[in-house]
Structures are given as structure tokens and as C-alpha cells.
Structure 1
Amino acid sequence: MVLKLIGTLAAAVFVVACGQGTSAEKSPLCSPDYQPGELTVTRDDPEGFTQEEPTKTTTDASAIEQVTRALCELPEPPTDAQCTADLGPTFVLRFTDNTGKPTEIRAEAFSCRYVNGLDIRRQAKPSLWQALTAAGLPSGG
């Protein structure tokens, strides 16, 4: 009985550790029911850097959907990632759905290019920067 309980607990821990949690853990942006309203992107530069691009906003639902799709398809970074100590801009993506609920994502355009604010930390790829550029928004690509 004890061994069976230990085996069940070990299997549950394995499933959670491998990212196979419930859909309640997923970011609202990655839900098929997400209804975009507005996306504002701000380039947040470290002190001493010049902000080259101002904050821009779009309400184009198709463009916002492309950006959310690119975000939700980003991979998790490797566990053994070796990041440089350089600094650069972070892009703050503020999504507002059609009910007014906000979601903020921070995408780093330097070093390991981490993306934070979704269900899990992810790593930015060219597809994200391309979707932002196509929407006429500031990007790190």
C-alpha cells in the first residue's frame, strides 16, 4: 500500500515537473478563447541607453493574434543556458482583452532573450520580433 502511494506521488511529481499541468496554469493569452482588444509595446532601455522607439499601440485584432501566437509558440529556455552579462532593451507588451483585463509580458532583447509573464518562462525567437515588426510595433529583432 505504501509503495503504491509513493509510486502514485512520484508519477504526479513527474507530470508536473515536465510541464504537463492543467489548462488552468496556461496564460490567458494562450487560450483559444482569448479575444484581443489592444496591445501596447514600450521599449524599456537600461540606464545610459537611448530609447530609440516610442511606445506604440495597436487595436488590429489580426496583428495582436499573430503576436500572441508567436509568444505562445516560444520554447522554454534550456536548463543549462549560459547567458552573457550584457544589457539591452526589454520590450514590455501590455495586452488588454476585449473585457478590459490586462496582461503584461516582458521580452528581453539581449543575453538569453527571456520572455516572462506567460505560464512559464520562455525564450524569444525571431518569430516574436517578426510579428511585432509586422504589426508596426517596436521590436528587438
Structure 2
Amino acid sequence: MNKSVGSALARLVLLLVFTLLIGCAFQAATCAACTPPVSHAQPDSLVIQTLGPSPQEGSQTVALSDPALINQLYSTIYALPVLPENSACTLDYGPHYVLNFKQGNQPVVVVTAEHFGCRKVTIDDEGIQRHGTDEFWSLLDQAIAAGTPTA
């Protein structure tokens, strides 16, 4: 093997190792956001407010008390990937949702979800934005369908 090929190969290996290390560091930094904080109580009820893209479309609110579906949605939210800064998003506009997780009468956490653009999901006490996956949107649709409309 000549010297220039060996040098290029060494640089390529070094670049690969560096890239892997950065990826691991990013994963470790975001992994803390992958699970609900220990201080959070496990929710046993959920109120979902659906807000249309315009005020004329009004809003709809449903309450859900199915513990399995609530916990699955709650866990899925905390497992959503962090939305990278400077993400390119579409300029469309659509519905967004406010999810109020509660245990008894006590609030656990409020989550906002935008079903447009980058499909952002924000856990209010976290301050970071996550990307709503197809699994999340499917579970949210199930929760809305299973919920009881409120006045």
C-alpha cells in the first residue's frame, strides 16, 4: 500500500470514529429526555383539546380515562426524538392539540402537539421540541376517538 493511500485511509477511519463519538454524545444528551421525570406522577386521566387551523373552526375537547391508552401515549411522547435545531419545515397549517395529563385532580404535564409543519410536540416543563412520529399521531387519533366529549 502506498503512503498516500494509507494516509487517506487513516483520515477516513479517524473521521468515522469522530462521527461515531459525536453521535454517541448526542444520543447521551438526548436520552435524558427519553423517559418521564421520576418526579412526575403516572397519569390516570387525559383531557385533549383539538384546535382547528383557524378560529372559525372552533375547538373540540374530549376526556379519556383508559389507563392503558393514556400510559401508552404518555410513554410514547417521552420517547419521541428531539427535533433538531434549524429543521426545515413545511409552511402548511393544520390542527394542533393540547394534552392535559392528570393524576386525580392534580396536573402531571401539559403537552402541545402541532399536526403541521415539523409536527412539533412540546412537553411544557421541558423546553425542548420533539418530532411527532406516525406512532404518536396514530395513538393520539385513537385517544381522541376513545374519549368522551366534554362540554
Q: What's the CA shift for 1:18?
A: 4.4
Aligned to 1:38: 45
Counterpart-to-counterpart distance in 2, 1:31 and 1:60: 22
Aligned to 2:140: 132
Identity of aligned residues (%): 26
Counterpart-to-counterpart distance in 2, 1:133 and 1:87: 18
Letter in 2 for 1:103: V
Letter in 1 for 2:129: R
Return the structure number with greater helix share.
Answer: 2
* Structure 2 portions without partners, runs of 5+: 1-21
* Structure 1 portions without partners, runs of 5+: 1-13
Answer yes or no: is the 8 Å Cα contact 2:42–2:108 preserved in 1.
Answer: no
User: More displaced, 67-76 or 127-136?
Assistant: 127-136
Alignment of 1:1-141 (within 5 A): 18=26, 30-31=36-37, 34-47=41-54, 50-51=57-58, 54-98=60-104, 100-117=106-123, 119=126, 120-135=128-143, 136-137=146-147
Q: What's the CA shift for 1:132?
A: 2.0
Answer yes or no: is the 8 Å Cα contact 2:33–2:78 preserved in 1.
Answer: no
CA deviations over 1:58-114 (Å, ceiling 9, x no partner): 122111101111101110113341112221111110111246134211100001011
- TM-score, structure 2 as length reference: 0.64
Q: Secondary structure of the residue that 1:30 maps to in structure 2?
A: coil
Task: Name the count of aligned residue pairs.
Answer: 120
Q: Which has the larger Rg?
A: 2
